[in-house]
Amino acid sequence: MSRYGHPLQSLSVTWAARIITRRTLERESTPCRVSVIAVILTVLASCASTPPEPDLTLPSPQTEDTLPIAVEGEELDLVAIEHVTSIAHSSSLMHARHERNRLSTSGIDASTLIAIDTRLAWLEGDVDKSATLLDRLAHDNTASIDFVLRDQERHAEAEGNWLEAAEILLAQIARSPERRVEEHTSERLFAYLIRTDEKHIRARLRTTSDALWRTWLTMNLAYREGGAELERWLSSSPKSLTPAVPHHLTFASDDNTVEHVTLLLPLQGPLSAAGEAVVAGAMDQLYSLFPDPSRRPYLTTIDTQQYPDIASGYQAAIEQGSDMVIGPLTKSNVAALADAPNKPVPLITLNQIDGFAADSKTPWLSFSLSPEDEARQTADVAFGQGCRNAIVVAMSSERGQRLLEAFETRWQGHGGSLRGSLIVDDPNMANEPMGKLLGSGSSDQRIRDVERAFDLPVDSRGRGRTDFECIFMLAPDPATARTWRPLLVFHMTGDIPVYATSAINDGMTDTRNRDLNGVRFVETPAMLPPLNGGRLGRLKALGGDALLLAQRWQQLQHTEQWVIRGQTGVLRRRADGSIERALELSTFDGAEVRRWSLK
């Protein structure tokens, strides 16, 4: 059983009565205990800072007695639900709640009010309340089940529970008239399964007896084994599968789709080590994909340092008979090549530039270890884990500002709120401004004032602000992260979740990493156990996945969904030709890195 119940059984009133999830039952079985000691400590601690003034503008909280009760058969007012949701995104939750209360007094139905309450609970970070209300809505009014399933799918996706999202989507498909669905729905279902760890798919396969669900699970496992195994599966699978097999799988073949690949990289000078790492990764991937030498594409390298400009190097690749070019590596060379006319041979560049989009005249994929994508993914992960109010610390450098902008745009798009930010010029001079940002500095100052006034020591520490639930530490390197993290702990935020990008991990086992224990960061799979790629592991993985993208070129042209599980992450092609990577959530455990468990 999934968190939301088995999606493929008949979704009738009987099913609605069973929709209460395991997590809901676990929440209800946990007794609420208030420790007298904790209360006393809280009262004492409150003396260290000014108590907050009550906010009289907020609407009165709902109690169990005032919650609306859904009526069977009520049709949801979807326009009203989206209207209040948009107010919460564009204005504030307080305004959205006032609008919700206005609708309540105007006589709107109870089911719609509950649906609105589920949205507002989710946006304010009360994930458990939102899930409970969805369960209750579906239980009391089966006419709301489609709405409930859609929101449960969105929540499971946001939380990174890909298998549950797939199962819920399949439940929606089962409820659709004659199971008619659009192609992109089938692709979305397949993408959820691609993002699921294989061990979870196999575990689910052992516990389900539903034929359709088993078919999709086995299809995904066959795809992971390679084109030959997928072809065997397709030849023996039901011909009338609903939803239909994603069209892009037609192009997922082990057949050699390119004959000659050229790597356009710096192999001399200061970037030679990076270029050689990319070559090594591409070579490893080549022999892995094509163990049979008779089927193996021809792979050559061109040293960009040997040519006056990048366009000349690209032309040399054409003259060698290449039908695919991977490179260049630097942003400046990618920009120069983008401006060059006549690019007849497909390109997979290993950096990205602003404002460029591939089109039918420019066969181009932009594939890079984009730190901006990582900053966006940290926002995704934190929001999915329930954080809604955040503080961010970033560098004032050009790179730091790009990361900050990428993060802020994604965070605010989710509906998250930024309670404060610190832009640092010198990482080693962040203590005092960090204390002011986090509120502990002013609180400590008041205590020092009391000590001076009465000439007596005060055995107390200041209390920091409490209006945020997580911190984004956009440190540019491990050394900066190891400087900032202890400061965050010192300023009374040791129990607040901290999120970061892979920049805090240099790939080396180092006892100093203990300062980063518990920090949650997104990381390239090649840098995680058992691979542990080392300092150049990401670049080697970049080379390997670039060759894989070349092999899957045709498949990528027919979908924008997640289709490849690579060494740099799960990959998909955006509409502009750039490749987005979905990394794995990780943390430090002593000197080493380990995956972060979502459960």
Model pLDDT for residues 223-255, shown as the tens digit of each residue: 999 988 999 998 888 777 778 899 999 999 877
What pLDDT does 457 receive?
Answer: 57
What is the Cα–Cα distance from 475 to 501, expressed in whole angstroms? Answer: 8
Percentage of the residues of the chain whose pLDDT score is greater than 90: 73
By the 8 A CB rule, do 527 and 509 touch? no
What pLDDT does 336 receive?
Answer: 95
With a cut of 50, say whether residue 43 has pLDDT above it.
Answer: no
**pLDDT top residue among 282 and 444:** 282
Question: What structural domains and CATH numbers belong to the chain?
Answer: 1-28+57-158 (no CATH), 260-369+538-581 (3.40.50.2300), 372-523 (3.40.50.2300)
By the 8 A CB rule, do 145 and 135 touch? no
With a cut of 50, say whether residue 446 has pLDDT above it.
Answer: no
**pLDDT top residue among 443 and 537:** 537
What pLDDT does 456 receive?
Answer: 53
- Predicted confidence band of residue 480 (pLDDT cuts 50, 70, 90): very high
Q: Which of 98-102, 221-225, 426-430 has the lowest mean pLDDT?
A: 426-430
Could you report the per-residue pLDDT of 152-189, keeping only the tens digit for each?
999 999 999 999 999 999 999 988 876 667 778 999 99
What pLDDT does 51 receive?
Answer: 39
Closest CA to 259 of 324, 181, 328: 324
What is the Cα–Cα distance from 85 to 528, expressed in whole angstroms? Answer: 39
Closest CA to 551 of 284, 279, 251, 277: 251
- The neighbouring-strand residues paired with 303 are 265
What are 342's two structure tokens?
């006549």
CA 158 → CA 152, 192, 292, 421, distances in Å? 10, 12, 42, 24
Mean of the per-residue pLDDT values for the chain? 86
With a cut of 80, say whether residue 437 has pLDDT above it.
Answer: yes
What is the Cα–Cα distance from 134 to 549, expressed in whole angstroms? Answer: 41
With a cut of 70, say whether residue 455 has pLDDT above it.
Answer: no
pTM, entire model: 0.86
What are 594's two structure tokens?
């380990």
| Residue 155: its H or E element | helix 145-158
What is the Cα–Cα distance from 564 to 546, expressed in whole angstroms? Answer: 11
